[in-house]
A and B are shown apart, each in its own frame.
With several copies, the nearest count.
Chain A
Amino acid sequence: MANITLKNVTKRFDKLETIHSVNLELCDGEFVVFVGPSGCGKSTLLRLIAGLEEITEGVIEIGDKNMNNIAPANRGVAMVFQSYALYPHMSVRENMSFGMEMRGESKENIHTRITKASHILQLDELLDRKPRQLSGGQRQRVAIGRAIVREPDVFLFDEPLSNLDAELRVDMRIQIAQLHKKLKATMIYVTHDQVEAMTLADKIVVLRAGHIEQVGSPMELYHNPNNMFVAGFIGSPKMNFLPALISDIEADNSVIVAFNGQKILFKIQSDKLSIGDPVTLGFRPEHIHLAKQEDGFHFDITVDVAEHLGGISYLYSRFENNNMTIEVSGENVLTSGDVLSVGIKQSDCYLFDQAGKTLIERVLPNR
């Protein structure tokens, strides 16, 4: 049993409070991804769970046992450090076997596990090298290897794939997913990669400046972000935000939003809204079409920069004084200065009140 509970966990470095009374429940066997802007406290949270930092206030429980006073060694966690923390004097093989040897695993056992892990991580030929003879990505893989050979109850991964190339990254991602399936261990995973977060997570925890902004499944966060921060943070390129107005409130929670001279009706709770309130419209770059859409907004934009990635292009554009990013798939030769007419479906729109809180609750697509 390795469910993890954080109750009012607070961490201060000297006077600087970095984690502010965080509450979180992670179930046994869950794959949890922490995301958040740089410096928001992801690594710190992992280190608190691992017991490498003492928590200033609050309680951390693993498997329903209070861990506050339990040494890291006895928490049953393995961690991939953001900084790798490889043993510089040990070969790759020794780096991986060290923990197992110290816990008295049998020689064969160690050998098989290392062979397997190094194969998965494509480290077979590097087993006898010292860390300083490895490239950045190779070091990172050793760090992963060191954690996975242990097969503990809880895995903590701190940006484990950041230094790997795209192909390897996809590979590794799949390997980690399989490992999770096989071991049924609880995994906490910090990443900046949207794809990793969306594909691996059972549950995503969005952090901002030491607070939890939202916890939910990837689709929940994508479709129903609590607020503009989460909406902006989940999805890449980032969601576009444009100012709009409440032009009318009809009965039955029917609210009419005016934008660019167009008025569209949204079915949303209207209690706290009043006519004339400014609201924010959100459109994801991938939802913007190069054509007017029936039932939706449309407007003209000017392309500032066009980035062509092959299969898709990003158009960094302007609408009035607002920046807009648009994703266009397929080949095209659009470029700076082009003026395009774009449209977006009503169902793809997000809407936020003045404080940034979401106004729309979407029903998730489900089979």
Chain B
Amino acid sequence: MPFMSRKMKNSLFGYLFIFPALIGFLLFYAWPAGRAVGISFTDWNLLSEPYYVGLDNYVDMLEDDQFWNGLKLSAYYVLLNIPLQVMLGLFLAVAMDRLTKSLFVKAAILLPYLLSNVLVALVWLWMLDPILGIVNSLVSFFGLTPQAYLGDPDQALVSVAAINIWRHMGLCAMLFLAGLQTIPKYLYESASLEGVTEFQMFRKITLPLLRPVMVFVLVTSVTGSFQIFDTIAVTTAGGPLDSTRVIVYYIVQNAFSFYKMGYASAMSVTLCMIMLAYTLLQMHIMRASESDLN
């Protein structure tokens, strides 16, 4: 088709390639999301007809302490969760790449992720029970002071973060491990001849070349953490003393307990915007669309 410019031809191919995914996106994401934006301007309790209230929901939201508290807790949770999770995941991945190729280690590291969120939460709920749990009995065994963990407003969110780190560390490691495979081995050979230490190789070769995957992990794990719900629903239900009532928990509560779907939608839209802004920033800063390998 010589009458078509290269760009047009590319576009044809491009859309053919994304066609199935695009359908899925439009049907199951774009349309509900668009609807949610619409609903956010209404008062809707799920069961009866919504009616238009303009920006009321957004105004309410700005004045709602619980909303701000939820956002703050979510942000705090992300800060507790991500650095450690990513660092541990990275360490594991590098260890699996450079230390041992053992399939057992690989499988073992991913095992926690095989359990569903809810199950993981239940298991830890049990183990972290201050009186009956095995963790405190280990803690006492080592002569330390038993803690209340999920029951203590000061520790609850940290405990939830720890649970999630435990579950997701292996996932992170898997993602990074896949990323490590793209780094040509000869770079390490070359570096090792230059007398570069393992740690320096990590810093100067692995990390920079892992960038595309790193952006991915950062974006998905941060936005994923922002959406933490299951674990909290199972372990603390937002308590004690609201110390774990993170934003999504609050949104779900509004939607399905308080039947305030309009308000929940407004908060969802806002949350979505915040995450999107973060994502765009992160992807821009880390040049997500470029790879140094090309």
Contacts and interface: CB of A to CB of B under 8 A. Distances in A.
Interface stretch (A69-77, A219-227, A324-332): A69-77
Interface string A308-327: 00000000000000000000
Interface in B210-267: none
A73 B2 contact: no
Contact of B197 (A52, A102, A146, A150): A102
Nearest to B197: A102
B2 A78 contact: no
A79 interface: yes
Interface stretch (A81-89, A296-304, A359-367): A81-89
Contacts of B184: 85
Contacts of B209: 88-89
A335 B109 CA distance: 69
A121 to B, nearest CB: 18
Given A71-B6, A89-B292, A132-B294, A99 B194 contact: yes
Nearest to A68: B6
B100 interface: no
B6 A69 contact: yes
Given A85-B186, A98-B204, A72 B192 contact: yes
Contacts of B205: 87
A50 B193 contact: yes
B190 A87 contact: yes
Contacts of B192: 52, 71-73
A182 interface: no
Nearest to B189: A52
Contacts of B195: 73-74, 99, 102-103
Interface in A84-119: 85-89, 98-99, 102-103
B187 interface: yes
B9 interface: yes
B187 A87 contact: yes
Instruction: Determine which residue in B184, B190, B197 has the highest number of CB atoms from chain A within 10 A of its CB, and name it.
Output: B190
Given A88-B209, A88-B293, A77 B186 contact: no
B194 A69 contact: no
B208 A102 contact: no
Interface residues of A, number: 26
B145 interface: no
Given A77-B193, A89-B209, A150-B194, A83 B2 contact: no
Interface in B169-212: 184, 186-187, 189-197, 200, 204-205, 208-209
Contacts of A77: 193
Contacts of B196: 73, 98-99, 102
Contact of B208 (A89, A146, A150): A89
B5 interface: yes
Given A69-B6, A74-B195, A85 B200 contact: no
A140 to B, nearest CB: 14
B208 A78 contact: no
B292 A98 contact: no
A78 B191 CA distance: 10
Contacts of B191: 87, 98-99
B61 to A, nearest CB: 44
A71 B9 contact: yes
Instruction: Determine which residue in A50, A52, A70, A89 has the highest number of CB atoms from chain B within 10 A of its CB, and name it.
Output: A89
B59 to A, nearest CB: 49
Given A83-B186, A85-B186, A88-B209, A98 B194 contact: yes
A143 to B, nearest CB: 9
Given A88-B209, A88-B292, A88-B293, A69 B193 contact: no
B2 A69 contact: yes
Instruction: Determine which residue in B186, B194, B204, B292 has the highest number of CB atoms from chain A within 10 A of its CB, and name it.
Output: B194
A102 B202 CA distance: 12
A72 B196 CA distance: 10
Contacts of A146: 194
Contacts of B197: 73, 102
A74 B193 CA distance: 8
Contacts of B5: 69
Contacts of A85: 184, 186-187, 189-190
A72 B189 CA distance: 8
A98 B208 CA distance: 14
Nearest to A102: B196
A73 to B, nearest CB: 5
A150 B196 CA distance: 12
Contacts of B2: 69-70
Contacts of A83: 186
A83 B189 CA distance: 12
Q: Which 9 A-B pairs have the closest CB atoms?
A: A99-B194, A89-B292, A85-B190, A85-B186, A72-B192, A102-B196, A73-B195, A89-B208, A52-B189
23 contacts: A50-B193, A71-B6, A71-B9, A73-B193, A73-B195, A74-B195, A77-B193, A78-B193, A78-B194, A81-B189, A85-B184, A85-B190, A87-B205, A88-B187, A88-B292, A89-B292, A98-B196, A98-B204, A102-B194, A102-B197, A102-B200, A102-B204, A130-B292
Interface of A: 50, 52, 69-74, 77-79, 81, 83, 85-89, 98-99, 102-103, 130, 132, 146, 150
Interface of B: 2, 5-6, 9, 184, 186-187, 189-197, 200, 204-205, 208-209, 292-294
